[in-house]
Amino acid sequence: MKKVEAIIRPERFEQVKKALEEAGYTAMTVYEVRGRGEQRGIELQYRGATIRVDLIPKVKIEIVLESDEDVERVVRIIAENARTGRPGDGRIFIIPVERSIRIRTLEL
Amino acid sequence: MKKVEAIIRPERFEQVKKALEEAGYTAMTVYEVRGRGEQRGIELQYRGATIRVDLIPKVKIEIVLESDEDVERVVRIIAENARTGRPGDGRIFIIPVERSIRIRTLEL
Amino acid sequence: MKKVEAIIRPERFEQVKKALEEAGYTAMTVYEVRGRGEQRGIELQYRGATIRVDLIPKVKIEIVLESDEDVERVVRIIAENARTGRPGDGRIFIIPVERSIRIRTLEL
Amino acid sequence: MEGLDPGAVAWVLASTAMVVFMSLGLGFFYGGLVRRKNVVSTIMLSFVPVALVTLQWVMVGFSLSFGRDVLGGFVGFDSRYVGLAGVGVGEVAEGTGIPLLLYAAFQGAFAAITVGILSSAFAERVRLAGFMLFALLWTTLVYDPVAHWVWGGGLLHRFLVERLGAAPLDFAGGTVVHITSGFAALVLALVIGARRGFGEREFPPHNIPLVLVGTAMLWFGWFGFNAGSALAADFSAANALLVTHVAASSGALAWMLVAWRRGRPGSLGFASGAVAGLVAITPAAGYVDAVSAIVIGAVAGVLGYYMVLYRLRRGLDESLDAWAVHGMNGLWGSIATGIFARSSVGGVGGLLEGNVAQFAAQLVDAAVAIAYTVAVTYAIAVAVDRLVGLRVSETEEYVGLDISQHGEEAYAWGGE
Amino acid sequence: MEGLDPGAVAWVLASTAMVVFMSLGLGFFYGGLVRRKNVVSTIMLSFVPVALVTLQWVMVGFSLSFGRDVLGGFVGFDSRYVGLAGVGVGEVAEGTGIPLLLYAAFQGAFAAITVGILSSAFAERVRLAGFMLFALLWTTLVYDPVAHWVWGGGLLHRFLVERLGAAPLDFAGGTVVHITSGFAALVLALVIGARRGFGEREFPPHNIPLVLVGTAMLWFGWFGFNAGSALAADFSAANALLVTHVAASSGALAWMLVAWRRGRPGSLGFASGAVAGLVAITPAAGYVDAVSAIVIGAVAGVLGYYMVLYRLRRGLDESLDAWAVHGMNGLWGSIATGIFARSSVGGVGGLLEGNVAQFAAQLVDAAVAIAYTVAVTYAIAVAVDRLVGLRVSETEEYVGLDISQHGEEAYAWGGE
Amino acid sequence: MEGLDPGAVAWVLASTAMVVFMSLGLGFFYGGLVRRKNVVSTIMLSFVPVALVTLQWVMVGFSLSFGRDVLGGFVGFDSRYVGLAGVGVGEVAEGTGIPLLLYAAFQGAFAAITVGILSSAFAERVRLAGFMLFALLWTTLVYDPVAHWVWGGGLLHRFLVERLGAAPLDFAGGTVVHITSGFAALVLALVIGARRGFGEREFPPHNIPLVLVGTAMLWFGWFGFNAGSALAADFSAANALLVTHVAASSGALAWMLVAWRRGRPGSLGFASGAVAGLVAITPAAGYVDAVSAIVIGAVAGVLGYYMVLYRLRRGLDESLDAWAVHGMNGLWGSIATGIFARSSVGGVGGLLEGNVAQFAAQLVDAAVAIAYTVAVTYAIAVAVDRLVGLRVSETEEYVGLDISQHGEEAYAWGGE
Ligand SMILES: Nc1ncnc2c1ncn2[C@@H]1O[C@H](COP(=O)(O)OP(=O)(O)O)[C@@H](O)[C@H]1O
Ligand SMILES: Nc1ncnc2c1ncn2[C@@H]1O[C@H](COP(=O)(O)OP(=O)(O)O)[C@@H](O)[C@H]1O
Ligand SMILES: Nc1ncnc2c1ncn2[C@@H]1O[C@H](COP(=O)(O)OP(=O)(O)O)[C@@H](O)[C@H]1O
């Protein structure tokens, strides 16, 4: 079992969610985060000077999946729909999950 | 070492916290998330039509524990206290942790 | 590949971020959390009685790193800059990451 | 302009605007107190009545309240008042120096806020459609008749004058506004039932600064509410403004201090105490002096505090405490007027000046208003519940009324 | 004090304060509707004009608007009005009982809010410097001339009186304020272009309670706006206040109900409908009665709703709907005045009393104002865009205007 | 009603309400500037004085300020004023057309806001109990005497008239309100000490829209503050309203522009500049014309900006800049009144008209007020600190004052 953690642009979240849903992946946990990548945020030119804005708002999506194929597919869907080609598109991390318990049924 | 990640109903959080505390598990990190499960959220009937409300607010609890017995016990406490038996009760995921450092003492 | 998850005092976040940046670690994802440790929060004396304030606001930093040396260095930098020596300084957890995908380039 | 007192007009114009402002402000006071998922809905429970009751008032309410006695003085009626169509622009309200149209507008603002206040009992669980129907029926069948009795010279007024030789004193609506809305809220809480989870877990207020913004608007607007009720820019208005501010101040401090004895003094206690003081001074504002206002406000603050505790102990989910704060302090204010009224202030003395009749008139007036309100509110609530339903479904309540009733989310998630 | 009517002065003093308050309040109405990263900027688009236009007004605007005809009545001019330096403190405004300085202050508040309204089209993408230059030019070249024509007895006024035998009626600025700002916004939306992402994704309002706080301030202030325009505390002011409240109420309910038919009734629809009703009654407030106000407001609410749908269908990013709500309802209000005016209210009858000339005057007045506004706004916008740039860079827009234009973050992150 | 001027009464009624409203509004201005964990506390530091000082004022403050000279004119006293118990409802305030009770209420609102302003220095670290005791002592020992000297015809007034032949001019409280509170804040910042972490890290404002809501309330209320101080609806009130708005506008723009030169122009600079302009025009509002107001406001904005920079460079944690904005601009306003006063406006000329005595009177008046304030504030602060403690414990400060002093959390966490 794996957890897919994707950090994406907020303005792409709806598109990503929809694409996942269409592919049958509805379950997810999401929250607002802030981040910067290796570009150290975004540069603004302000009257000659350069101002760096870091910690840009992002949305983080977490999806726990059973099979590796699902992981592969989910990664692809997220990446394709979150990508703009410009810095700040985000990252996806795959993290091992040992167990998953459904609280409602206490089933594993 | 394991990290227990539990996504529960906000209205059950206080009860879960109290139960954990009574069992001696005080340490935790929590934050507000939103999520949906396989039910794709909640359905409202609105004048004939069905409206789907997804991304329901949830609370996520993270507890890092040394021993597997502790994990077992914490999972049980959370599940028992978070359960209502209706969809949306949430999930618990167990994630491996390689190391834990206490910042105050730099002790592992 | 590892994910460093550090839960620190909000008032130390800027200092930690700066120290990381100076050491060349710019990429990170951060969010606001609340937490308590084994001390079960902070005690206030109020006219004789003791009031316990738990779930103190914290900031959580997540940094995914390739090499173990980087992990070592990042942990040290965070710990040194987040430490006050008083309860509530926080924790750092190291979590295995199986893969990382850069959405912009789809590169691993 | 014959008969017009421009100073009076200026003040009542401003006062009307202020009362409308506080009616909307009530929405923030209430809205900050509820859970995040119900804030838009709760604000709307104050906003919608402003619009709805204003139209009802123009079409029928003013006529029912201030028309000539019909049905033996049970309500009033005046065909000229229907749609205000027969009222000349140049007509002066009898016994005042202001236009009749302004008088109608000012009084209409009172009718609107009364419905807003009672929405306390509906918070976080009422169906919008049910609420709107209820609001229309209630303002017509409860507010208008009671306004007619107390201010329109109707049934109760005449009865008290005949039997006790004393007309009930209600300067700005202690009985008409606060007793009716507060006791209606009590009944409604019983009819609609508690919010799911009430008593099992806490419902902490989601946004205290918003509550305090509402408090500021209420405090400000109340000067128009009370001092505007002098219907003139005169000595009486000045006294009303002063005692209003004093009672709010002492109410706020009293509640804060009494709460302090049991724990820490919250801002919500301060705010509730201010409102309690404002409510209690409302019927008295034209009749008592500043020192009495300190006492009236202080009692109101303490009373409000204990009434909230009491209703919590009784497990009653009258959610935003319209009963404890408005109902009980409307009652206290009415009684206090009967006690502290001074002939040197408003021409009538109270119990302290030996005027037992006045005291009795206040009691009877309040008692009748309570009894009538309780009975008719109950009937309307049950009828509306049968007819269109007062309460949302369990799922709708769970999801929150902002989404289920309004299709809106108060604070955007995941926004840019 | 010769010629002074203290009641009138009291009311216009209060009204001026109220109009300034609502001008600032507009910032919250608009600010809550945008994305979190642009809220400070959006509020500032209402706040900055209050300061900027006030200074322009004192230095030249009042003279251009209310000076004696120059350029054949295209604008006015009076050297005494420059800096108000030649106006004696003890001077009374002609035909009123209030000081000329107060008249200037009251009118200046109208000029300021007009610029705030049109900022709707600039939201979330305008450069602050470009906006400020635009604001100065626009208020000078559009607002001031139109104000002169309609209120200052200028060109258009004389033309209509001569040709149609009817002076255009605009009690409180349906044409001068709402048509100009609304249609300017339409033009500006085309010149500045849509926000990036508009049409591809939703931009949900980030803070609805803030919108509703702004709504409360607008509703309150509008009493000063409309009833203050009587420039006296008299029968006309009373009528204006009443019909203003009634039209706001029926506008709010109408929009809510028409939206309800298609889905759930949002608070934003209620708020927009209230504003629509307030806009539509603005030119009519001194001329129509309460029942007409219900109709005018209801039509305004429905009209506003469909105009918003229309501009969305047209893919036009006139972001906060100044055109749909202010422009189109300014137009409707102007026409409605020509229809519903009653001689028994304001001395002039409309179409319903057979006065075709008045109806025609209203149409021509509005049409000319629209044509002039569209043309000159376009010219100014293009010029400013060339000169200093109206729009921020793509990166600045992405990061948000709060950071890029103001260096501020509205809601602190990670704070203690 | 003998001697009553209804227009004056209407305006001062409205003004009193407006000043109370702005006193509460100050809480939001300050509250938005602090960290999330202290917002309730900071708002309460403005709200609590409204209640507390109102009661003090009714019981003793009005008597001390406006009673007949005792102790050689150091303070006043009038037994009739204690509890206002001896003041007849029908009594007119000497030299005005308004009831004495209204005069007392209006003046009391000034006393209350003054304490709110100085709470700037206490923000995020004061013990509620200590603050309340301090507030009571300070208003009695500093505000009341200074008010008596400047407005009550007391010591300083007589001294200046005798020695310089010129009475100090302070139309609405530049000295009495702003100099006293601003310089008190300076002293208090030194006594209570900086917030933990000050100078080491930033404390960004947690909610800028809330600050701007407070700004709107202040701007609005200030019209009552300044123009209400005419105590009539007359030419002087009109002039005061106009110059107040103009100075606020030019102050806002000046601060914004001067800040722009060094970086991006923040909304907080705009808001602070507006307040700076409002403060500076306060003593001058009845004496200067519009063009002078532009200058006075502009200087105020620039001065405020540099004073904030200066106190930051000095490492002084006068947290919300009451000193820089109110203290220094109260001083500048007092001086400016001595420079720009025009006989054609308020009957007295300033330096520009060659009246050196008036200029000197302004300087001496301000200097004495500063010296007295500094000395007595220091003594009270130290005494209160010893007696009950002014500052919370380190842990309480860490957790935040909302929880530690009020047991409340401003924005609920984890809510539904
Ligand atoms: N090494 C990392 N660890 C944690 N989060 C990261 C890391 N790299 C990127 N992120 C997250 O992804 C977001 C986008 O990263 P960024 O580097 O800007 O994208 P890109 O790689 O396409 O330029 C960042 O804002 C941050 O939240
Ligand atoms: N596969 C998953 N990955 C991530 N989060 C999940 C997953 N499944 C459920 N969740 C989280 O758990 C919450 C409750 O899940 P839900 O499926 O509604 O509960 P139940 O399984 O009892 O119906 C969701 O809102 C979501 O936040
Ligand atoms: N076992 C744990 N699991 C999850 N989070 C933890 C755990 N222990 C500590 N934390 C987080 O770290 C924060 C600081 O911990 P605390 O125990 O107060 O620090 P210290 O160990 O220095 O006393 C807590 O508020 C909580 O968010």
* pLDDT per position as a tens digit, D382-409: 999 999 999 999 999 999 999 999 999 9
The verdict on a CB contact (< 8 Å) between C35 and B26 is no
Q: What is the pLDDT of residue A108?
A: 60
* Residues paired with residue A3 on neighbouring β-strands, in sequence order: A64, A95
pLDDT tier for residue F136 given thresholds of 50, 70 and 90: very high
Q: Give me the architecture of the B2-96 domain, per CATH.
A: 2-Layer Sandwich (3.30)
State residue D40's pLDDT score.
Answer: 98
**pLDDT greater than 60 at residue D258:** yes
ipTM computed for the complex: 0.97
Please name the amino acid found at residue E396: E
Over residues E249-259, the pLDDT tens digits come to 999 999 999 99
Distance in Å, alpha carbon of A102 to nearest chain B alpha carbon = 5
**Across the interface, do C32 and E414 touch by the CB < 8 Å criterion?**
yes
- Number of Cβ within 10 Å of residue E347's Cβ equals 12
Which one of B27, B97, B103 has the shortest CB-CB distance to C38? B27
What pLDDT was estimated at residue B43? Answer: 85
**How much is the pLDDT for C107?**
67
* pLDDT value, residue D7: 98
**Which carries the bigger pLDDT value, residue B44 or residue F69?**
F69
Question: For residue range E54-102, what is the model confidence (pLDDT) as tens digits?
Answer: 999 999 999 999 999 999 999 999 999 999 999 999 999 999 999 999 9
Q: What is the average per-residue pLDDT within C71-89? A: 95
Q: Would the pLDDT of D1 be above 60?
A: no
Contact of D11 with chain F, judged by CB distance below 8 Å, is answered with yes
All structural domains of chain D, each given as residue ranges with its CATH number in brackets, are 6-406 (1.10.3430.10)
pLDDT tier for residue A43 given thresholds of 50, 70 and 90: confident
Contact A104 B94 (CB under 8 A): no
3-state secondary structure B60-95: EEEEEECCHHHHHHHHHHHHHHHCCCCCCCCEEEEE
Give the pLDDT confidence of B16-25 residue by residue, as tens digits: 999 999 999 9
Predicted local confidence at residue B105, as pLDDT: 87
Distance CA D29, CA D210 (A): 7
pLDDT, one tens digit per residue, over E320-346 is: 999 999 999 999 999 999 999 999 999
pTM over 0.95: yes
From chain A, the residues in CB contact with B74 under 8 A are none
Residue A27 CA, ligand 2 centroid: distance in Å: 6
F331 has pLDDT over 90: yes
Distance of CA E140 to the CA centre of its chain: 15
The enclosing H or E element of B53 equals strand B49-53
Q: Shortest CB distance from C11 goes to which of F36, F201, F393?
A: F201
Q: Is A26 exposed, middle or buried (0-12, 13-18, 19+ CB in 10 A)?
A: middle
DSSP state of F288: -
Decide whether any atom of ligand 1 lies within 6 Å of the A60 Cβ.
Answer: no
Of all ligands present, the nearest one to the C-alpha of B39 is: 2
Q: Closest ligand 3 atom, CA of C55? A: 25
Phi–psi pair at A45, nearest 5 degrees = -90, 125
Mean pLDDT in residue range E23-39: 98
Residue B7, C-beta contacts closer than 8 angstroms, at least 6 positions apart: A29, B33, B35, B58, B59, B60, B90, B91, B92
Q: How far is the CA of C91 from the centre of ligand 3 (A)?
A: 5
CA distance D272 to chain B (A): 26
Asked if residue B106 has its Cβ within 6 Å of ligand 3, the reply is no
Cα–chain center distance at E50? 13
pLDDT at position E1, please? 57
Atom of ligand 2 nearest to the CA of A30: 27
User: Is the C-beta atom of C7 inside 6 A of ligand 3?
Assistant: yes
- What single DSSP character describes residue A55? S
Q: How far apart are CA F378 and CA E210, in angstroms?
A: 41
Q: Is C9 in the pocket of ligand 3 (CB under 6 A)?
A: no
For chain D, give the percent of residues with pLDDT over 90.
96
- Mean pLDDT rounded to a whole number for chain D: 97
A37 in contact with ligand 1, CB cutoff 6 A: yes
Residues of chain F neighbouring E210 (CB-CB closer than 8 A): 209
The one-letter code for the residue type at D326 is: H
Has residue F157 got a pLDDT over 90?
no
pLDDT of A5-33, one tens digit each?
Answer: 999 999 999 999 999 999 999 999 999 99
- Distance CA(F211)–CA(E39), nearest Å, equals 13
Looking up tokens 């010296």 gives F371
Residue D394, Cβ density class (10 Å: 0-12 exposed, 13-18 middle, ≥19 buried): exposed
Checking if the pLDDT of E394 tops 90, the result is: yes
Residues 6 or more apart whose Cβ sits within 8 Å of residue F241: E13, E16, E17, E102, E105, F223, F226, F227
Which subunits sit against E, judged by 3+ Cβ pairs under 8 A? A, C, D, F
Count the alpha carbons within 13 Å of D82 in the hemisphere toward its beta carbon.
4
Q: What is the pLDDT of residues D144-184, one digit of tens each?
A: 999 999 998 888 888 899 999 999 999 999 999 999 999 99
List phi, psi (to 5°) of E104.
Answer: -65, -40
Pocket test for ligand 2, best of A2, A26, A29 (most atoms within 8 A of CB): A29
Top-confidence residue, A54 or D254: D254
Cα(B64) to centroid of ligand 3, in Å? 9
Q: What is the pLDDT of residue C46?
A: 76
Test the A interface: residue of D409, D411, D416 with most A CBs within 10 Å: D416
> Which band of pLDDT confidence, cut at 50, 70 and 90, is reported for residue A48?
confident
Of chain E, the percentage scoring pLDDT greater than 90 comes to 96
Chain D residue numbers touching A17 (CB-CB < 8 A): none
Note which residues in 251-280 of chain F have CB less than 8 A from chain D. Answer: none
Higher-confidence residue of C37 and F248: namely F248
Q: Tokens at residue E39, please?
A: 């809220």
What's the average model confidence in pLDDT over C14-38?
A: 95
- Taking the Cβ of residue C14 and every Cβ of chain F, the question of whether any pair is shorter than 8 Å is answered with yes
To the nearest whole Å, the CA of A58 is away from the closest chain C CA by 9
**% of chain E residues with pLDDT over 70:** 100
The answer, for B78 touching chain A at a CB cutoff of 8 Å, is yes
pLDDT of residue C53: 87
Rounded to whole angstroms, how far apart are CA atoms F134 and F146?
17
Position A50 scores a pLDDT of 82
- F1 pLDDT band, cuts 50/70/90, is low
**pLDDT interval class at C41 (50, 70, 90):** confident
Q: Does residue E232 have a pLDDT over 70?
A: yes
Whether ligand 1 lies within 6 angstroms of the CB of A36 is answered as yes
Instruction: Answer yes or no: is the C-beta of A99 below 6 A from any ligand 2 atom.
Output: no
Closest residue, chain D, to E217 (C-alpha): D21
Asked whether residue B108 carries a pLDDT value surpassing 80, the answer given is: no
Contact F89 D36 (CB under 8 A): no
What burial class does residue E371 get, using C-beta atoms within 10 Å of its C-beta: 0-12 exposed, 13-18 middle, 19+ buried? Answer: exposed
Q: How confident is the model over E110-133, as a mean pLDDT?
A: 98
Taking an 8 Å cut-off on Cβ atoms, the answer to whether A31 and B34 are in contact is yes
Residue D412 C-alpha, separation from nearest chain A C-alpha, in angstroms: 11
CA distance D87 to E355: 23
> Which residues contact residue E383 at a Cβ distance below 8 angstroms, ignoring those fewer than 6 apart?
E137
Determine, for residues A82 and C98 on separate chains, whether the beta-carbon distance falls below 8 Å: no
Q: Please name the residues between 69 and 98 in chain F that touch chain B, using a CB distance below 8 Å.
A: none
Cβ contact, residue pair D411, E206, below 8 Å: yes
DSSP secondary structure string, C3-41? Answer: EEEEEE-GGGHHHHHHHHHHTT---EEEEEEEEE-TT-S
Mean pLDDT of chain F: 97
Least confident piece of the model among C42-51, D118-127, E169-178, F374-383? C42-51
- Counted across chains E and F, CB pairs separated by less than 8 A come out at 199
Query: Which ligand is located closest to the Cα atom of residue A61?
Result: 2
Residue having the nearest C-alpha atom to atom 13 of ligand 2: B90
Question: What pLDDT is recorded for position E57?
Answer: 98
Task: Give the DSSP letter of residue A91.
Answer: E
pLDDT digits (tens, 9 = 90+) for A61-87: 999 999 999 999 999 999 999 999 998
Instruction: Answer whether B59 sits within 8 Å of F414, measured CB to CB.
Output: yes
Across the interface, do A44 and E37 touch by the CB < 8 Å criterion?
no
